[in-house]
A and B are shown apart, each in its own frame.
Chain A
Amino acid sequence: DIQMTQSPASLSASLGETVTIQCQASEDIYSGLAWYQQKPGKSPQLLIYGASSLQDGVPSRFSGSGSGTQYSLKISSMQTEDEGVYFCQQGLKYPPTFGSGTKLEIK
């Protein structure tokens, strides 16, 4: 299975700060990567797919980039509602696999 390694495991950011979360795949996943946000007590929600495409309805402060084995999610201006856990997921090969998550909190 493809292993997805996320970093950092947790971070805190001030309102308005730019936040970056990293995800590394154990092999080339050719941009077959998604990012999800999970708020406490809620289901995960798709933010980014295809490494850089914004899902409908997701604020434009979220962006994704990367290629090969290295990908990142950027939040350009941290908002209160962005608190939660963020997961990356590869969909190139079966089984789809997820990163261990990054917990993002307001400082």
Chain B
Amino acid sequence: QVKLLQSGAALVKPGASVKMSCKASGYTFTDYWVSWVKQSHGKSLEWIGEIYPNSGATNFNEKFKGKATLTVDKSTSTAYMELSRLTSEDSAIYYCTRVAAIFLDYWGQGVMVTVSS
């Protein structure tokens, strides 16, 4: 069965960076795009960007360009997202998802990032 296992919660200081992981299993990792989604304060969802593991091609929401960096390690079927220059506005839960056509058919369990001094 398809699973996306994300890394644990992170507490980081303002101005720092955080890198989170998303390990895929149960399907061919290189066949599907992986998207990342932000959920702030239990509210709605924002699409951050996506990466195609086979080629490393990426697409980003303009709002998150310069904030998020997406990478993959094909050898371990793991996708990564690094968020830089963190502020309190970046405190949120971040999900990785598998993309089927244009929809998000499997989601990781989420990573809670708290930015606080």
Contacts and interface: CB of A to CB of B under 8 A. Distances in A.
A100 interface: yes
B107 interface: yes
Nearest to A87: B45
Interface string A64-105: 000000000000000000000001010110111111110000
Contacts of A87: 44-45
Contacts of B47: 95-98
B105 A55 contact: yes
B30 interface: no
A40 to B, nearest CB: 9
Q: Secondary structure at chain B's binding surface: helix, strand, loop or mixed?
A: strand
Contacts of B88: none
Contacts of A99: 44
B43 to A, nearest CB: 7
Interface in B99-114: 100-110
B25 interface: no
The interface size bin for chain B is 20 to 34
B95 interface: yes
Nearest to A33: B103
Interface centre among B44, B101, B102, B110 (most CB of A within 10 A): B102
A46 B104 CA distance: 7
Nearest to B95: A43
A44 B104 CA distance: 9
A25 B101 CA distance: 19
Contacts of B116: none
Nearest to A92: B102
A34 B104 contact: yes
12 contacts: A43-B95, A43-B107, A43-B108, A46-B104, A49-B105, A50-B103, A87-B44, A91-B101, A95-B60, A95-B61, A98-B45, A98-B46
Given A95-B60, A95-B63, 20 more contacts: A34-B104, A43-B95, A43-B107, A43-B108, A43-B110, A44-B95, A46-B104, A49-B100, A49-B101, A55-B105, A91-B101, A91-B103, A92-B102, A94-B61, A95-B61, A96-B35, A96-B102, A96-B104, A98-B47, A101-B44
